[in-house]
A and B are shown apart, each in its own frame.
Chain A
Amino acid sequence: MKRRIALLLASAMLLTSAVAGLTSCSDDEGGSGSGKKGHVYYLNFKPEVDKQWQELAAKYTEETGVQVDVVTAADNKYMEKLTTEIAKEDAPTLFQISGVADLATWDEYCYDLTGSDPINELSSTAYALKNSEGKIKGLGYVSECFGIIVRKDLLEKAGHTLDEIKSFETLKAVAEDITARKEELGFSAFTTPSLGTGNTWRLTNHLSNIPLFYEFKADGLSADNPPATIKGTYLDQYRQMIDLYLNNATVEPSVATGTTVDDARAEFIDGKAVFFQNGDWEYGNITKDGKVTNDQLAMIPMYIGVEGEENQGICAGTQAYWAVNGDAAEEDIQATLDFMKWLMTSDTATTALADEMGFSCTFKSAKTPQNYLDKFNNDYAVAGKEVVTWAFTAQPSENYQLELGSALSSYAVKMDDASWGAVKAAFVDNWATEYAAAHE
């Protein structure tokens, strides 16, 4: 009896696995058979809008019958996820790359978008990412800007106005005046520069965009074609800005090394600091509790003391490019392109992207999101100030940024020339090292 049960169980096991194998086979055929609809698999980069993407994908499926799967990588784990997912048989058909340095890695996977429908829907060709051969491989879908976000109400309470701040010198004067009367006013000039682990990106990526932008400009270089070495021409200005942040923040420099961007944002919302260096993507976070409203907010350029900075505007650009997997089945590629076109043109999608995800999209038919901070980018541009394009996307690797962050964190503890030497090495020398390693 026992023997018979054992046999029965064993054969049942084998059968089910065989059946499972068969059904998965037939599934595959259904998906990739010629003349079929194809499907879309989008690997999403932004965890904060995962829910919105899922809903949008469901709407598209409902409308067209085409299956769209959205998978979101966890915070800071996008590269890891993409590396493993792309190797799978059922790889993402639509994924994201962050710029030209990233494209060098993924180029061979990227479908040539030159002349495709989605590219024609872009509001400007500046948002088309080209590889070294001039083929369009990425579509920048969201434009973002960053600078110094200001609590206007606090600034006025301290007896200053936005009009005063036109350069590093004037910014410094205001900040130091606030620091001198910190106790009396009850707030500081700057939020913590947040040099805690994994939180240095505001300084390593965004602030360093200013010295890089000016250096590239002076040397006739472009972030689209990253140089193998840099000189660090404007490092002194970078240092004086970091000193300004450290000396006029809510916390001591040696404590700032243990703080996060979340801490900085909380200080800004709670009215403990006037200035918060960050981007328009923070708008939702800043205003969601209703403690801070539009009339209290402004954004100003990051003045670090470069000659001619009176003409400097806000930093605007994109670090979010859609790329289509060229290895996907033909009908899947077509389905993906159709999906992209729908995202860029349909009322449903453009509304969701603007209103629910808060993206300033780069499409001809894009809707304007309710992001008050974007207004300042436009205001400066309209006033004839130069839009600072994104140069930091040329930074050779993630390790370059980590290394710079680590050096800045050590600098905050001592703030002397020796520790600045390490920052300089991380900024200039390590650029060459990492560039060589990444292009090996």
Chain B
Amino acid sequence: MGKTLRKNPLYLLLFMIPTVAAFVVGFVYPFGMGIYLSFCKFKSPKHIDFIGFKNYLKLFEGGTNSERFLQSFWFTALFAIVSTIAINVLAFTVAVLLTKNFGGTNLFRTIFFMPNLLGGVLLGTIWKILINGILSVFKDSLTNRGIYGFIGLLIVLLWQQIGYMMIIYVAGLQGVSDDLKEAARIDGANSKQVLFKVTIPLVMPSISMCTFLTLTNGFKLFDQNIAMTAGLPNHETEMLALNIYNTFYGTRGQMGFAQAKAVIFFLIVGLIAILQLKITQSKEAD
């Protein structure tokens, strides 16, 4: 089969058509359209006027629009960093524990993974009710202070994502040969040294993968945000995606502006993701 493919490139093309078509229809076209719309003014899809860089300039001209976007950016960045560190440290710890030989590891893995199967809005709503139930005892509620929202969102995201990252780490850890660890121990390494000098360098690809996923997820967080705090109090917990969403749907006539924000958002997340991949990949052992 492989030979046939190489002999006749027509086959290659033929088999690629469905995927390429889906990719173009589902990604390339909307993406290009999105970029085009960021240079336009439109209220409804019928009348789209090209206005050049005006939407972008609006974001940099100062005033409430720029301040809110910047505030959202810093809140999002802080949240993404804190959640990335917390999720990965905890997921890795759980994975190490669940690759030891004791009964019920599979059951635990399943249980830890389960929250990941629920949708963000549902999770956000349930946790909001839970947290408000506890806070009401202290005459308080989730949206009364920005820090509550931050911690609340963090709890939900940790609960949801630790299980998923754990599965990736478990797979990585199982790929580390026992021979290597045993050899290290015979050479006199203690268990801490084995972990940091042997195991971690060898699961570095998993770490790259997981930090990439958690960092970008942190930046893109939307469902949980809108369900839990919706940006309250006073936009303090409004993340970038929600800021863009509110601009797009909340005020007619600002859709192009929201689109420009979205393009900037894409560039920020893309840049950060590339940087992060470069850094962690450079640490991967050969």
Chain A residues engaging chain B, CB cutoff 8 angstroms: 2-3, 6, 10, 13, 79-80, 83, 86-87, 104-106, 108-109, 196-198, 251-252, 254-259, 327, 396-400, 402, 406-407, 409-410, 413, 422, 433-434, 437-440
Contact = CB atoms under 8 A, between A and B. Distances in A.
Contacts of A196: 132, 141, 143
A436 to B, nearest CB: 9
30 contacts: A3-B4, A10-B15, A83-B249, A86-B44, A87-B46, A105-B43, A106-B44, A108-B46, A197-B230, A254-B140, A255-B139, A255-B140, A256-B141, A257-B144, A258-B128, A258-B142, A258-B143, A396-B251, A397-B250, A399-B246, A402-B246, A402-B250, A406-B233, A409-B143, A409-B233, A410-B232, A410-B234, A422-B234, A438-B253, A440-B41
B231 A406 contact: yes
Contacts of B136: 251, 255, 258
Contact of B249 (A2, A87, A398, A407): A398
A106 B46 CA distance: 10
Chain B binding site: helix, strand, loop or mixed by DSSP? loop
B140 A83 contact: no
A109 B44 contact: yes
A398 B250 contact: yes
B135 interface: yes
Nearest to A17: B18
Interface of B: 1, 4, 11, 14-15, 18, 41, 43-47, 64, 128, 132, 135-136, 139-144, 228-235, 246-247, 249-254
Contacts of A109: 44, 46
A83 B246 CA distance: 14
A252 B177 CA distance: 60
B135 to A, nearest CB: 7
A128 B128 CA distance: 42
Given A83-B45, A105-B44, A198 B230 contact: yes
Contacts of B235: 406
A258 B132 contact: yes
Q: Name the residue among A252, A258, A407, A439 with the largest chain B CB count within 10 angstroms.
A: A258
Chain A binding site: helix, strand, loop or mixed by DSSP? helix
Nearest to A430: B64
Contacts of A413: 144, 233
B87 to A, nearest CB: 25
A255 B252 contact: no
A258 B141 contact: yes
Given A254-B144, A259-B141, 15 more contacts: A10-B14, A79-B249, A105-B252, A108-B44, A108-B47, A197-B128, A254-B139, A255-B136, A257-B144, A257-B232, A397-B251, A398-B249, A410-B234, A413-B233, A440-B253
B186 to A, nearest CB: 51
Q: Name the residue among B41, B132, B252 with the largest chain A CB count within 10 angstroms.
A: B252
A410 to B, nearest CB: 5
B126 to A, nearest CB: 13
Contacts of B64: 433
Nearest to A79: B249
Contacts of A105: 43-44, 252
B249 A258 contact: no
Q: Name the residue among A109, A327, A410 with the largest chain B CB count within 10 angstroms.
A: A410
B232 A258 contact: no
Contacts, number: 108
A276 to B, nearest CB: 20
Contacts of B253: 437-440
Q: Which 5 A-B pairs have the closest CB atoms?
A: A258-B141, A399-B250, A87-B45, A258-B132, A197-B230
A438 B251 CA distance: 6
Nearest to B64: A433
A128 B144 CA distance: 43
Contacts of B4: 3, 6
A80 B252 CA distance: 12
Contacts of B234: 406-407, 410, 422
Contacts of B47: 108
Q: Name the residue among B232, B234, B246 with the largest chain A CB count within 10 angstroms.
A: B232
A196 B228 CA distance: 10
A106 B186 CA distance: 76
Contacts of A83: 44-45, 249
A269 B125 CA distance: 23
B141 A254 contact: yes
A196 B124 CA distance: 13
Contacts of B247: 399
Contacts of B46: 86-87, 108-109, 327
A2 B132 CA distance: 63
B251 A255 contact: no
B232 A197 contact: yes
Contact of A252 (B18, B139, B229, B230): B139
Q: Name the residue among A79, A108, A255 with the largest chain B CB count within 10 angstroms.
A: A255
Contacts of B132: 196, 258-259
Contacts of A402: 230, 246, 250
A422 B234 CA distance: 9
A71 B143 CA distance: 34
A437 B256 CA distance: 12
B119 to A, nearest CB: 13
A225 B142 CA distance: 39
Nearest to A422: B234
Nearest to A88: B45
Contacts of A256: 141
Nearest to B250: A399
A80 B249 contact: yes
Contacts of B252: 104-105, 397, 438
Q: Name the residue among B44, B141, B232 with the largest chain A CB count within 10 angstroms.
A: B141
B254 to A, nearest CB: 6
Nearest to A440: B253
Q: Name the residue among B1, B11, B43 with the largest chain A CB count within 10 angstroms.
A: B43
B232 A409 contact: yes
